[in-house]
Amino acid sequence: MTALYIHIPFCQSKCPYCSFVSFAGLEIDYDRYLQAVQSEIVFISEKLQRPLLRSVFFGGGTPTFLKSSQISDLLERCRLLFNFDASVEISVEANPGTVDQLYLDDLHRMGVNRISIGIQSLSDMELRILGRSHDRVQALRAFEQAQSAGFENISVDFMYGVPEQTCESWKRSLETILAYYPQHLSCYQLTVEAGTVFSQWEAAGKLRTPDENVIEQMDVLTRDLCQRFGLEQYEISNFAVPGKECRHNINYWLNGDYYAAGAGAVSCIAGKRERREADPLVYCRLMENSQGVIVESERLKNEASFRESVVMGLRMVAGVSCQDLYAHYGLGVDEYYGESLDWLKRNSLIERTPSHLRLTARGRQVANSVMARLV
């Protein structure tokens, strides 16, 4: 059993922090793009003989930039071409400014059972800095409408470390959204990626972000508030009501297989990672001419794949199963890492349970430094 990711690379506007494959104002026939995606889905299904899916994820970009009927057509195509697990998780990413009650009713009726709302902040000032097309009122309205539509698995994306953000404003945003009782909350620290508008501002000395001490306080505040509202941390950036953890993303962190379709989408099957043409117009032309859309392919060697699985698995609070690693790669974590692992243990950054290797609470605060020693 595995997962399918479908990439919708269109947005109302390009946020200044965004490095994803997404396009605003692109002159393209969306039906043409969706036909190309459907053709790729047909190809995947025929090649792999109707694989069993545990999750389907519509990501972007902004999938809800499309009409609800267009998402419905894609989902129905998937149902015809793949076998769905009885408890399949079907997620759609949504931006508050692109949905209303009717749209969310449509998504729920067509069988989407998990909605992920990209709110990012409930401070109008911070939303303007982030270039978001919605405000606080629209964000909360979208959440209420998702509840009214019948969604019982609503996830919210938040961002901290935002320019001009303070612990107080972060706390206000968190307390407000948690009072609505989302089933899942993703809290991502802002990373300034190369090629973004934020990276240009940073180079020009025009980007002021909170310092490390403030970020640490935000981390502690996030964990405490989520715990108070019944959301447990299960991954470095993710919190959920028990049983509502994102199945699709857990598959990524456990280095499982996942198929993908759409411009810029990345798949990984049996250790082979493939990236598709990112330009939607070129992607369409290649699919229409029955030409390959894969522009980069990589198969990691055994040890490199082992290290990647360790690093990805350590993002999970439960850690990574040492037995599963040995069964898959024939390598033991203690023997492989030796003194490096011993040093991390002595400094209380990592711990070994009878079955798993996992970061300590202190280790999760400096996760990037820990991972750098293991990659």
Contacts of 327 (CB under 8 A, 6+ apart): none
**Distance (Å, whole) CA 33 – CA 283:** 8
* pLDDT (tens place) for every residue of the chain, 375 residues total: 689 999 999 998 899 999 999 999 888 999 999 999 999 999 999 888 888 999 999 999 999 999 999 999 999 999 999 999 999 999 999 999 999 999 999 999 999 999 999 999 999 999 999 999 999 999 999 999 999 999 999 999 999 999 999 999 999 999 999 999 999 999 999 999 999 999 999 999 999 999 999 999 999 999 999 999 999 999 999 999 999 999 999 999 999 999 999 999 999 998 899 999 999 999 999 999 999 999 999 999 999 999 999 999 999 999 999 999 999 999 999 999 999 999 999 999 999 999 999 999 999 988 989 999 998
**Distance (Å, whole) CA 357 – CA 90:** 30
Q: Is 276 helix (H, G, I), strand (E, B) or coil?
A: strand
Residue spans in the chain of domains classed CATH 1.10.10.920: 303-374
Structural contact between residues 265 and 258, judged by C-beta atoms closer than 8 angstroms: no
Residue spans in the chain of domains classed CATH 3.20.20.70: 2-253
Tokens found for residue 122: 């409930």
Task: Count the helix, strand and coil residues of the chain and give each as a percent rounded to the nearest 5.
Answer: 45, 25, 30
What's the Rg (C-alpha) of the chain? 21
How many CB atoms lie under 10 A from the CB of residue 46? 10
Q: How far is CA 247 from the centre of its chain?
A: 11
Structural contact between residues 198 and 192, judged by C-beta atoms closer than 8 angstroms: yes
**Distance (Å, whole) CA 331 – CA 5:** 30
Fold classification of 303-374 is Arc Repressor Mutant, subunit A (1.10.10)
- Of 310, 297, 307, 289, which is closest to residue 266 (Cα–Cα)? 297
**H/E run at residue 341:** helix 339-346
**Distance (Å, whole) CA 148 – CA 145:** 5
Q: Is 350 helix (H, G, I), strand (E, B) or coil?
A: strand
**Distance (Å, whole) CA 327 – CA 346:** 27
Fold classification of 2-253 is TIM Barrel (3.20.20)
Note the pLDDT of residue 1: 63
**What is the value of pTM for the model shown?**
0.95
Note the pLDDT of residue 50: 83
Structural contact between residues 63 and 71, judged by C-beta atoms closer than 8 angstroms: yes
Half-sphere exposure of 297 (CA within 13 A, CB side): 6
Structural contact between residues 325 and 307, judged by C-beta atoms closer than 8 angstroms: no
Strands across the sheet containing 320-321:
320-321, 356-359, 350-352
Single-letter code of the amino acid located at 183: Q
Structural contact between residues 6 and 53, judged by C-beta atoms closer than 8 angstroms: no
**H/E run at residue 250:** helix 247-253
Single-letter code of the amino acid located at 321: S
**Distance (Å, whole) CA 349 – CA 235:** 16
